[in-house]
């Protein structure tokens, strides 16, 4: 068997027992969609690898119909590619694709900041401040993992403060697309960039406190632009060195 998929599969619903989780998710195909999306996003399938439907069906314990529906949706989301008569592959992101994705993310966060300034409460800002100082602590301790976790929380808080569900959903979609590279692009050794990022975050917080929408928008865009450069650089190095974007646990 030349399977490209590691055998991590667990059937979706223990064949006929009540589904243990309280997730009221109806419809098999919806469940399949969630499962498959996570499965792809988390990098369980090698990029560009062909993914036989049958195998996924066996893995998920379903028939091809709902699976194919889910695949179509994932393709529309940009996570996978569907080649006519030749099956599905995990979409391979070129450097250009990544640049584009980062830029769109930058635009979305920039927008989020702008909108957030309109209605954000003092409490929300205070919460972000707390996250900021927590992140600063991780920075001082050189705790990369903790830093990144809080960093994401800050950005998500800003998106949440924009009070725009459509934006939030779109943001989450794009975040999912680049999640795998994001992991590997933690500019691990770029100490200098790290310091820069901290300063940028201070500027973000400052602009947010003053509700300076336009300014915050600029800062966020530039911040993400810099992140993009760091990620692309890191990735390019990694590729040159032959390092694959290996999936790594959360």
Q: Which does 115 bind (CB under 5 to 8 A by kind): a second copy, DNA, none?
A: a second copy
Q: What is the nearest approach in angstroms of DNA to the Cβ of residue 65?
A: 4
Residue 242, C-beta contacts closer than 8 angstroms, at least 6 positions apart: none
Q: Which does 228 bind (CB under 5 to 8 A by kind): DNA, a second copy, none?
A: none
Q: Which does 221 bind (CB under 5 to 8 A by kind): DNA, a second copy, none?
A: a second copy
φ, ψ of residue 5 to 5 degrees: the values are -105, 125
Q: What is the nearest approach in angstroms of a second copy to the Cβ of residue 175?
A: 13
Report how far apart, in Å, the C-alpha atoms of 238 and of each of 130, 242, 248 are.
Answer: 34, 6, 15
C-beta neighbour count of 25 within 10 angstroms: 12
Q: Which does 110 bind (CB under 5 to 8 A by kind): a second copy, DNA, none?
A: a second copy
Binding mask 42-61 for DNA (x = CB under 7 A): --------xxxxx-------
Helices and strands (H, E) in the chain, number of each type? 10, 3
Q: Which residues bind a second copy (CB under 8 A)?
A: 26-27, 29-30, 65, 68-70, 72-73, 75-78, 84-85, 97, 100-101, 103-104, 106-108, 110-112, 114-115, 164-167, 170, 214, 217-218, 221
**What does the DSSP assignment read for 139-151?**
HHTT-HHHHHHHH
């Amino acid at each position: 068997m030349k399977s490209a998929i590691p055998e991590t599969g667990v059937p979706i619903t223990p064949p006929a027992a009540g589904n243990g989780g309280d997730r009221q998710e109806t419809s098999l195909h919806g469940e399949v969609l969630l499962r498959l999306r996570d499965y792809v996003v988390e990098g369980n399938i090698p990029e560009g690898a062909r993914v036989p439907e049958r195998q996924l069906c066996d893995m998920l314990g379903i028939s091809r119909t709902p699976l194919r529906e889910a695949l179509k949706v994932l393709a529309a989301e940009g996570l996978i590619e569907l080649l006519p008569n030749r099956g599905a592959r995990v979409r391979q992101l070129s450097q250009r694709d990544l640049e584009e994705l980062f830029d769109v993310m930058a635009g979305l966060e920039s927008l989020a900041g702008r909108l957030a300034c309109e209605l954000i409460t003092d409490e929300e800002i205070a919460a972000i401040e707390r996250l900021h100082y927590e992140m600063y602590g991780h920075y001082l301790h050189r705790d990369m993992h903790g830093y990144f976790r809080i960093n994401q929380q800050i950005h998500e808080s800003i998106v949440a403060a924009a009070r725009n569900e459509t934006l939030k959903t779109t943001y989450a979609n794009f975040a999912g697309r680049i999640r795998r590279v994001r992991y590997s692009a933690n500019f691990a050794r770029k100490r200098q960039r790290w310091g820069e990022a901290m300063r940028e975050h201070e500027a973000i917080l400052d602009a947010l406190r003053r509700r300076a929408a336009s300014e915050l928008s600029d800062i966020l865009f530039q911040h993400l632009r810099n992140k993009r450069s760091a990620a692309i650089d890191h990735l390019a190095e990694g590729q040159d060195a032959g390092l694959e974007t290996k999936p790594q646990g959360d």
